[in-house]
Structure formats: C-alpha cells, structure tokens
Structure 1
Amino acid sequence: MAAAVCGRVDVASRDRVERMSPDTLRAYDLVLRAKFLTLNYTRSENAQAREFAERAATLDPKSAAACTHAAWCLFYEYMAKWTRDSGASLQRAFDYAQRAVLLDETDSFAHTLLGIVHLFRREFDQAHTEILAGVALNPNDFLARRYYGMFLAATGNAESGIAQIELGRRLNPFDTRWVPWDMGIVCFTARRYQEAITALKQARNPINEVHGWLAASYAQAGLLQEARSALEHFLRVAEQDMAVFPGRKLANWEPYWHGAFEYQDQADFDHLFDALRKAGLDD
C-alpha cells in the first residue's frame, strides 16, 4: 500500500513539473535556493534569499511559496535590524504574507507567517486567528507549532508555549538550531531561567540574538559574571552586523528587542530590560 501511494505521488509530482512553464520552473528553482540561504540566518545570505524570492514572485505571480518566502526574508530583516528602515521591511513582509494566503488558503505556513507578522505589528487578535488557522490546516507542521508556542508566550501563557514548542521538537527532532532558541525565549518568559540557559546553550551555530537572551537568562539566575560575558559577546557581534548599532544604552536597544519578541504586556518587557540592565547595559 505504501509503495503504491508513493508511486502515485511521484507520478503526480512529475506531471505537475512537466506542466510548468519555463518561468514557473525558474521561480520554483529560485524559491528552493532562497530557502537554503535563509537557513544560515546571515545578513548577506538573507539579502540574497530575499532577492531570489522576490524575483520568483515576479516570474510566477501565482506562486504562494515565493510570496511566503519573500515575507519570511523581510521579516528576518526586520527582526535582526539589518536595514535602517526596519518598519518598511515589516510592512513589506505583511504585504507578501497577505498575498501568499490569498494565493493559497490551504498553505499552513503562509497562515502561520501572516500570524507572526500580525504579532509583531501588535495585532494580537489577528495573529491568534492566523496562527490557529495554520495549526488547523496541518497539525503536524512543526513550524506552526513552534510559532504557536511563541505566540502563547508573547501573550501571557508561556507555560502552554513550552508545551507547543516541545511538540514541535518531537515533530522535527533534527532542528537543533531554531528550537533551542525558541525554547530559551519561552522558558525565560516563564521565569524558568536554568531551563532557558540549558536550551540556549544547546543551539547549534546560534544566531547572535541567542547570546542576548543568554545574557538575560544568566542575569535573572544570579550568574552575573556569565551574564556580562554573554552580553559583551552579543554587543561585539551586533556592532559589526546591525545597520545601526545602538551602543550601550538600554533605551536605545528597546526597538531591537521589540523586533526580537513582541510581548503584549509591558511587564514582560520590563522583566527582560531589567535582566539586560543587570548584565551590563547602561540606563
């Protein structure tokens, strides 16, 4: 039975490819290349991935995958502050994500990504609707589960968020870079600092933001020497990587942390900023 089903899937996939126009095939190839580049989460590779995805969306205006990936790259650009006008990047991510959902209402990741962009626009009700739509369309989508966990933590339910991210980990046990990052944020939000530290330290080839969360987690756990060391590492890399480096004043870093995680409740931001102050940022 399994062999018969696989055979039919292979035939259907081959027939679909054979019906593609040259532009559609080229767009499909560009999306695949963009996905590979995005996984590395570097400024230069994300810019190249965004260029590929946007070219794909132009070549194939009906490609939901191209629009979704363009939105993803622009969202990362916003998060990491790789551009001087990060607000414009978030708006363009929103436009592409909306377009992706209109093109394919059955795509779970398109709904999930639109929900995440709504979250960072502080449109929490719309975010909830879209993320739940993504989970409902594909309950086994590990990315949808991860992002649902992040939404729950951002909106005051970090304990349930931990359960969702753990489910995402079980659905894809090979993700050793992004799951520890997300789990660390949610555990920090839940005030489970040792678990946050353990998770963040498990991240393979971590992005720089991880070192910022690690500094905050160490600080709230009372490990101030480790917190200061992690913060200094974070600042050194950020100075080279960000379009505009905020320096050492905590107030100047607030927009960055709103881009890293958009809490609904100011008390959660105060908790994070208190940790970064303990780690060594100046008032």
Structure 2
Amino acid sequence: MLKERRVTILQPVVRAHGGRIVKVMGDGVLLEFPSAVNAMSGAIELQRKMQDANAATPEARRIVLRIGINLGDVVIDGGDVYGDGVNIAARLQSLAEPGAIYVSAAIRDQVKRKLALGFDDLGQKSLKNIAEEVHVYRVFYEPGATKDHADKPELPLPARPSIAVLPFTNLSGEAEYDVFTDGLTEDLITDLSRNPGLFVIARHSTFAYKGKSVDVRSIARELGVRYIVEGSARRAAGRVRINVQLIDAVGGDHLWAERFDRNLEDIFGVQDEVTDKIVEALVGRLAESPSRNRPKSLEAYDLCVRGRSLVSAFNSSPEALREAEILLNQAVSIDPEYAEALRWLAFVYWQLWAQSIDPTEENRSRALELARQAVALDENDAANHWFMGFLWANEKRWPESDEEFAAAFTLEPNNADALAVWSEIAALAGRASEAIEMIQRALRLNPHPAGWYYWQLGFAHYAARQYEEAVRILRMEAIYRSPSRRILAASLAQLGRRDEAMREAALFMAMTPKFTITHWASAQPARDPETVQRFIEGYRMAGLPE
C-alpha cells in the first residue's frame, strides 16, 4: 500500500511542483523544492490526494501523513542533503498531528501573501538537537477543498457558546446501520438547535467531515465554533450502546463524556438525555423546551431516517424522490401520527410537482394536506412550520406564511435551511437587503452548505441589482451546473454581456426545455411586482422563451 501511494500520488505531486525526492527513510520521505511556494502547494495537494485515497480504504489500512516544511541552508553531499535546515523540517513533522502541515516562520513569511491560506500561531518551540527555539505555525487548509472555499477567511467565534456535532461513528460492523447512526447525529443537531442560548452548525457542514481523519481543532476553526461533540453507536440484538464526548476545541479540555447502554426502544430517551447534558455543560440548566413528536415505532423511525437521507432539500433526483416516497409511506402506514415522516412525505410530493417530475394537481394538494397534518400533530417542530410557511407562500397566502416562519424561528433560531428559504421569499417581497442578510446568516450556520444555498445568495444579489456579485456566486463550482443558470444568464444580460448571457441561457434550456418566462412569473411566491419584472427583463434580454 505504501509503495503504491508513493508511485500513484507522491511522485506525480512532487514532479508537478518542481520538486525531487531526496531519499526514502522507512515510512518517511525527504523532499526538496525550488521555492517555499512550491513546497507549500505540493504539501497541500499531497494531503488532499492522500485523504481522497483514504476515503475508499478501510480505516485500519489508511495512511495519514504528517508534514513539516522549513526554509534554510543545507549541505549538499552528492544526491543527499543535510544540516539544520533539514533537521528542523524533520522535527516539525514529528510535532504535527496526523493530516496536519507544520511550518517554520521562514516558510510562513514567504507564502502568506502568495497563497490563500490561514495559519495558527503555535509560538516558539524547543526542538531536539536544535540550538535555538523555532517559531512554529500550523497551516489552515481544507481537506478536499474546492476553489469555492479555498480563500474563505477564518470565521470569528459567535458570542453564544458555539458547537458542531460531528457524524457519529457506526461501530456495529454492519453498513446497514450507517443510516441509523447518521440519524442519531441529525436528531441531536436538531434538538440542540432549538436552544436559543447556543449557536449550532447545520448538519450539511458537519457531515462534510464524515469518514475523514481531521483534527477536531482544525474542524472547529474551519466551522468557527469552540465546542465539538463526537460520538459512536453500536446497535445489536435489540440494544444500543452510545458513547458521546463534548470537547472544548480551543482549550483542549474534555468537558463531558458518557456511555449509554440501553434497550433499543429507549433510544429517544437517550437522545433527550444527551441533549440536556450538553446544554447544561455549556449554558447551565434552563427551562426545558417542549419536546418534538417522537415516533411510536422504531421500525417507522428507521424508515423515516432512510427516507430523509434520500431527500436533499430542493436538489433531489427523480429516483431518490420515488424511493423516499415508498419508504415514507411505509413509515406513515406503521405510525400515522409520526409528524416528521408526514412532513418529509409532503416535501416529496411537492418536489414531484415543483420539479415537473409528476406535476399533477393531486401531488400539489397532497403536499399541502400532509404538511398541515404534520403541523397539527407536532407544533413543536420548527421544520414543520417553515415548510408549511414555504407552501403557503407558494399559494400566495402571505399572512399564514409569515406566521409559520415566525413560529419556526421562535422554536429553532439555528435553523439554517429556514433562513435560506426565507431569504428567497424576502427577495421576492422587495426586501433584497434583508434577503442577503438572511442567507449570509444561513451560511454562517452552514459554512459547507448544499449548493442551493448559493443559488439563493445569487438570487438575492440579483434582486438587489448587484449583478457582478450574482455572476461571481452563480459561477461557483458548487452551483454552476444547475438550473440556476437562468439567473446567471439574466445577470450577465443586465451587465451588457449579451453573448455570455445567451450561451448560459442555451445551456439552461438544454437542461430545462419546458421553461417559459410566463410560467415562471405566475409560479413565484412574489409580493413585489417590480422585483419579478426585473427578473423577467433579464430573462428576455438573455433570450429565454416567453
């Protein structure tokens, strides 16, 4: 395995950055590069490619690198190099955590204005056999990062206690229980998000780290939080064992850890207990929030968790929606009063109608009826309210929509999806500045979001007549190859870039051949005719059909 990685990953990366392999030393290797920038760029690419390779490898066989980089004089002896310059790099490597890159101040000073990176100042360090202390920095880079995230600044810590719940590890030995374990994580995030005293990172961002060997301190910095929750679950023979720990990623302390051994039927009680103990550790004992509706059947819960895992909000394939429809209908047939399953089923039927997969009036009315049932059965679930509010907006029943969104934000102020959806409704009500603020708040709660967040951000900037910014956002890799191209085409047209606009419009129509401006305008949850007219104007200038 190690030899294969040297041939397939190490050697091509070193060549691509103008370096050379000086020597191999057991499981270590000494590399030389012509500049500090080459060395840093090569090190980051090497870490990313190793992590990509590890993602498809069993954990016990993964190879995780520690990298140290230094700039200094060396002695050349034939093909070998040695001296303090080499020794310092070796000592930095031994200091680094798995997956990390540590550099000397000399390297940091050379690259800080040339590469979009952040650095954690670790201070002066005494290194073995090195006469003087060395100023050491840890490099901030995102494992597997795309160009969309590479230049993001470090996020400041919120005033409230801030927390991210990492995906729990499935220790059951059965891949089928991965969804169950993910469901435990998602439910814990939802329950913590209901507490107004906490700042809670959304599920999509924390699940970006699933299966990756990344130091919790790095994760906390990337997400802009102080506290991290890690856990594992083992499910077997009607019982479940859950291990949970709460970590202060800034101070390095373990604030709380506990193991729960329970009958599987007690799983929802365990979820409540874990939530209460985390909240108590961070903000003290508070008045209990009203509980969400819990399923009466564990089988129904399993089916709902599997169904919701197939439905990526506003971005689901027809096949995933159809499979989710089957699973969620089964969950509801087992437990007809399971509000969350009813809500997700409503979402599926609305998507089938809205995405023109099966645009029947029956699916539209089904979605409305099931969403109403979900709210009636569980008024304490914020997601039931914001989805109902979204449907009322599409029905142009504004007072009911506003009321449902207000209820959602009261119950769960950390709900990033609700903020993102509300931003579009605000933009179409003529409140573009508020829309931008809303989606930016959503992105702070969800720093690694689903692509549709960027769609909403581009939409809001277009509504605000900020066309250059809309173009920049809508050309990001996370969203570019999607139906959002119609907004990109309109933005380019507004800027007078007609050829680019018409090209994007043609690419959009190839994906969405039934689109017409008239149908789009009639279907929008819009209160402000002037904003709708601005979009229509851009679509016409880009050559989209009436």
Shared fold, TM over 0.5: yes
Give how far 1:50 is off: 2.6
Measured against aligned partners, the alpha-carbon deviations of 1:155-186 in whole angstroms (never above 9, x if no partner) come to 12111111011001001111041210111111
1:203 positional shift: 5.2
Query: Does the CA contact (< 8 Å) of 2:454 and 2:479 recur in 1?
Result: no
Aligned to 1:145: 419
Segment of structure 1 superposing worse, 161-170 or 27-36: 27-36
Alignment of 1:280 with 2:543, yes or no, is yes
Aligned to 2:331, the other structure's residue is in SS state helix
The one of 482, 502, 506 aligned to 1:228: 502
Do residues 48 (structure 1) and 311 (structure 2) align? no
Q: Distance in 2 between matches of 1:184 and 1:12?
A: 48
1:15 has 2:290 as partner = no
Report the counterpart of residue 82 of structure 1 in structure 2: 357
Q: Name stretches of at least 5 consecutive residues in structure 2 with no aligned partner.
A: 1-244, 247-253, 271-294
Alpha-carbon distance, 1:8 to partner: 8.2
SS at match of 2:512: helix
1:242-276 deviation per Cα after TM superposition (whole angstroms, max 9, x unaligned): xxx35xxxxx44224544x4211222222211111
1:124 to 388, 398, 420: 398
Give 2:303's aligned amino acid: L
Partner of 2:366: 92
Report 1:146-161 matches (<5 A).
146-161=420-435
TM-aligned CA distance change 1:205 to 1:9, over 3 Å: farther
8 Å CA contact 2:339–2:375 kept in 1: the answer is yes
Residues 6 and 135 of structure 1: is their aligned pair in 2 closer, same or farther, counting only changes over 3 Å? farther
Report the equivalent of 2:347.
72
Asked if structure 2 preserves the Cα contact closer than 8 Å seen for 1:145 and 1:168, the reply is yes
Larger RCO (CA within 8 A; separation ≥ 6) = 1
Provide structure 1 residue ranges, at least 5 long, that are not aligned to the other structure. 240-244, 247-251
Q: What residue number does 2:519 align with?
A: 255
Deviations 1:35-92 (A, max 9, x none): 222225222222222332233222211211111111222222232222242x433322
Aligned residues: 270
Distance change >3 Å, CA 8–CA 147, structure 1 → 2: farther
More strand per residue: 1 or 2?
Answer: 2
Deviations 1:8-39 (A, max 9, x none): 888698613599xx982232222222222222
The answer on whether the counterparts of 1:120 and 1:262 sit within 8 Å (CA) in structure 2 is yes
With the length of structure 2 as denominator, give the TM-score of the two structures. 0.46
For residue 166 of structure 1, give the secondary structure of its aligned residue in structure 2: helix
1:182 to 451, 456, 459: 456
Separation (CA, whole Å) in 2 of partners of 1:268 and 1:95: 30
1:173 maps to 2:447: yes
Deviations 1:191-213 (A, max 9, x none): 11111122222252557321122
Q: Secondary structure at the match of 1:231?
A: helix
Pairing 1:34–2:272 present? no
Q: 1:4 to 1:151 in 2, by over 3 A?
A: same
Shift of 1:115: 0.2
Query: 1:102 is matched with which residue: 376, 382, 394?
Result: 376
Offset at 1:235?
0.9
SS at match of 2:448: coil
AA matched with 2:538:
A
**Residues 274 and 136 of structure 1: CA distance in aligned 2, closer, same or farther (over 3 Å):** same
Q: If you compute each CA radius of gyration, which structure gives the higher value, 1 or 2?
A: 2
The CA distance in 2 between the partners of 1:37 and 1:219, in whole Å, is 36
| Counterpart check, 1:204 vs 2:478 | yes
Relative to 1, partners in 2 of residues 1:137 and 1:143: Cα closer, same or farther, differing over 3 Å? same
CA distance in 2, matches of 1:67, 1:219: 42
The answer for the alignment partner of 2:49 in structure 1 is none
- Determine which structure has the larger helix proportion and give its number: 1
Q: Which amino acid aligns with 2:348?
A: C
User: For residues 55 and 219 of structure 1, do their structure 2 counterparts lie closer, same or farther at Cα, with a shift above 3 Å needed?
Assistant: farther
Note the C-alpha offset of 1:130: 0.3
Amino acid at match of 1:226: E
* SS of structure 1 residue aligned to 2:297: helix
In percent, how many aligned pairs have the same letter? 26
Detail structure 1 runs of 4+ shifted over 4 Å in the superposition: 1-6, 8-14
Provide the C-alpha distance between the structure 2 equivalents of 1:111 and 1:188, rounded to a whole number of angstroms.
28
CA RMSD of aligned residues (A): 2.9
* Contact 2:517–2:544 (Cα < 8 Å) also in 1: no
8 A contact 1:112–1:131 mirrored in 2: yes
Contact map agreement 1:184 1:199 (CA 8 A) in 2? yes
Task: Give SS of 2:525's match.
Answer: coil
| SS of corresponding position for 2:420 | helix
- Over 3 Å counting, the alpha-carbon distance change for 1:268 and 1:138 in structure 2 is same
Is 2:311–2:321's contact at 8 Å kept on the other side of the alignment?
Answer: yes
Distance in 1 (CA, whole Å) between partners of 2:506 and 2:418 is: 33
TM-score normalised by L of structure 1:
0.84
Shifted more, 92-101 versus 111-120: the winner is 92-101
Aligned counterpart, 1:268 = 531
Amino acid at match of 2:544: L
Rounded to whole Å, the distance in 1 between the matches of 2:259 and 2:344 is: 28
Gap change, CA 1:203 and 1:186, over 3 Å in 2: farther
Alignment CA distance shift 1:263-1:18 (3 Å): closer
Q: Which residue of 2 aligns with 1:219?
A: 493
- Given the superposition, is the C-alpha separation of residues 62 and 270 from structure 1 closer, same or farther in structure 2, using an over 3 Å criterion? same
Give the Cα–Cα distance (whole angstroms) in 2 for the partners of residues 84 and 176 of structure 1: 25
